[in-house]
Amino acid sequence: MKLGDRLQKLRKEAKLTQGQLAEKLNISMTQLVRYETKEVQPPANVLKKLGEVLGVSIDFLINGDTLEKAQSQLKDNDLLIQFKKIEKLEEEDKNIVKKLIDAFVAKKQIQQIVT
């Protein structure tokens, strides 16, 4: 999901019109429409105010949540589900899983070099 889509969704969830949100941000409605639909990135001060008004972090506005970022990067849904389960493990267990993955990837890279 892009920043504009996220803005639009959050605005609607807050039950605000474009005009109402623009007024709270002290910007024109035209400018807000550009942020929502034209892929125009708001400046830092507007992002900060957007976060305050919509109750989210600037990082969330720009990048979305962890699941959203992972879904945009991973095409294998089963792998995504497994990573979500791993994320809930204790830190020590997560580190073991990371080491196992690193070892497996290293083994595959060595096999490719040898063959």
- Spatial contact of 59 and 49, defined as CB atoms under 8 Å apart: no
H/E stretch holding 11: helix 3-13
User: Based on the structure, what is the number of domains in the chain?
Assistant: 2
Please indicate, yes or no, whether residues 50 and 71 belong to a single structural domain of this protein.
no
Please indicate, yes or no, whether residues 46 and 75 belong to a single structural domain of this protein.
no
Please indicate, yes or no, whether residues 53 and 73 belong to a single structural domain of this protein.
no
How far, in Å, CA of 29 to CA of 45, rounded? 17
Please indicate, yes or no, whether residues 12 and 45 belong to a single structural domain of this protein.
yes
Residues 6+ apart with CB under 8 A from 93: none
pTM above 0.85, yes or no: no
- Spatial contact of 10 and 56, defined as CB atoms under 8 Å apart: yes
Q: The domain containing residue 104 runs over which residues?
A: 67-114
Which pLDDT does position 39 carry in this prediction? 82
Please indicate, yes or no, whether residues 85 and 60 belong to a single structural domain of this protein.
no
Average pLDDT over residues 2-6: 89
Is pLDDT at 19 greater than 70 in this prediction?
A: yes
Compute the chain's Rg from CA coordinates: 20
Q: For 50-103, how does the pLDDT look when each residue is reduced to its tens digit (9 = 90+)?
A: 989 998 888 888 888 766 656 655 677 788 788 889 989 999 999 999 999 999
Average pLDDT along the chain: 88
